[in-house]
Amino acid sequence: MYNKLPQCRCINLKRNIELQEAKNTKTGRLSHLLESILASQGGYLADQLYTFKRTEAQSFQLHAVQNKSAANLRWLILSREYYFEATKDYPIANKRDLKQALRFDDNKAPFEGITLQHIERIDEQSHRVTFWVINPTVLKKVNFAPWVILPESYILAKALSDNVNLATIECINKTLFISKTGRGLFSGVQSSHTPTIEHFAFSTGSPISMGSENYYHAKSIDFIDLLSKGLKSLNLAKLQGFLVNLNEFNWQNYPWKQAALISTTVFTLYLAISSGWLAFKDQQLTQQLVAKKTRVNQALTLQETYKQQLQWQELLAVPVKDNVPYWNTWPIVLEAIAVGAKFTAIHYQNSNVIIHGTANDSIKATDVLAKLSKNPYVVSASFSEPVRKYRGNENFVINFGFAKVLYKPEVEQTTKQAVK
């Protein structure tokens, strides 16, 4: 039995590892599927409209849209040249009050258009708001109304490492400069006014060190990977400021069937993943309970065996519990002989020893009795018959018992408490 336990544990561990690997593989496939579904609903607007397509190498590529009228995308990344970017600090501690104040702040851009915003807290008493005001003529180039519009500079800045403060990114049709300073995010397209990164850094007040870790240069082949990385870093809370006003939606063109299909697919996948996870945890807990139950049963069996052995020891101790140490008779008699007594007969009767003897001229019978009484093994030594004198000697008969080996009940009580 004990030789089979390690083998069973190895089998269970191997099964758990295989289940975990299968689950990770399934989760990875589902995440790739969801990414592909979401990517198919988005695009990138630069010199023309592009859509995202997943390749066989599980990476994304941009494909130019030939028929713009057929495109019906739900989210859109907007190139830097199509919006105005500004950053402002507001000494307002409460975020809800800040949103109310932003409704009356019209001084955001030199033109009016769809305004996107990102709010971040500077300290306990103030917030920083970055605005992106979209040129009103931009969305006329497409025949759809996206739900979410994401500024290109914001997405690329999210993809950069935290230690990078200045970056040059070669995009599809331009070179983009990005600066992350203590005053907020700044970006700009390479032009005659800012032909180099040094000019851009000087205009934004950002220190530049071309060979340090604070500067990053991305080539055009890395552009799509940066977009993907920036998109994956977003969550629902960060997307709130990039939602387009719902009043501008054309609900007649809303893809109800696609939305229902996506919702049903996501919900079904969620149920499948959660059910598989719960089943896995249930099996794991069951195996743990079985293992603990086996150990508890073994411990109880050992405890019962130990109790039985204690009971057997108690039963074996009963016959010898009241035994008299009669083997000490001879040492006791020898002590009396050393005093000067002579013994003629020794009898053992009713757990007592009866000695017949004679005391010579040098001692008396009382001296022999006193000597026997001092022995620690002798109990209740006395004359069983009167002392008689014969030819100057004293004949006597002494009766005594032996000190018993007492059984200590406190040892038994301590042992029983240890077993319990």
Amino acid 25: pLDDT:
52
CATH classification of the domain holding 361: 3.30.1360
Question: In this structure, are 141 and 260 located in the same domain?
Answer: no
pLDDT computed for residue 14 by the predictor: 52
| pLDDT at residue 57 in the model | 59
| pLDDT of res. 236 | 75
Residue that terminates a domain, selected from 222, 237, 252 = 252
Task: Quote the crossing angle between the two packed helices 256-317 and 409-419, to the nearest 10°.
Answer: 160
Q: Are residues 297 and 338 in the same domain?
A: no
Looking at the fold, whether 142 and 268 belong to one and the same domain comes out as no
Is there a single domain that holds both residue 359 and residue 247? no
My answer on whether 161 and 235 are in the same domain is: yes
Q: Do 277 and 130 share a structural domain?
A: no
**Predicted local distance difference test score (pLDDT) of residue 418:** 44
pLDDT at 58: 57
* 411 occurs within a structural domain: no
Do 302 and 386 belong together in one domain? no
Q: Which domain holds residue 354?
A: 326-402
Q: What is the pLDDT of residue 152?
A: 92
| pLDDT, position 151 | 93
Query: Do 89 and 213 share a structural domain?
Result: yes
Q: Split the chain (420 residues) into runs of 10 and give each run's mean pLDDT.
A: 47 55 51 68 86 72 76 86 91 89 79 86 91 84 83 91 88 89 88 87 77 83 87 80 64 68 88 89 88 88 89 76 70 81 84 85 83 85 85 85 57 46
Question: Is 120 contained in some domain?
Answer: yes
Residues 58, 17 within the same domain = no
Residues 235, 358, single domain; the answer is no
pLDDT of residue 91: 92
Residue 227 in domain: yes
* Together in a domain, 309 and 352: no
CB atoms within 10 A of CB 357: 21
Number of domains comprising the chain: 3
**Same domain assignment for residues 97 and 241:** yes
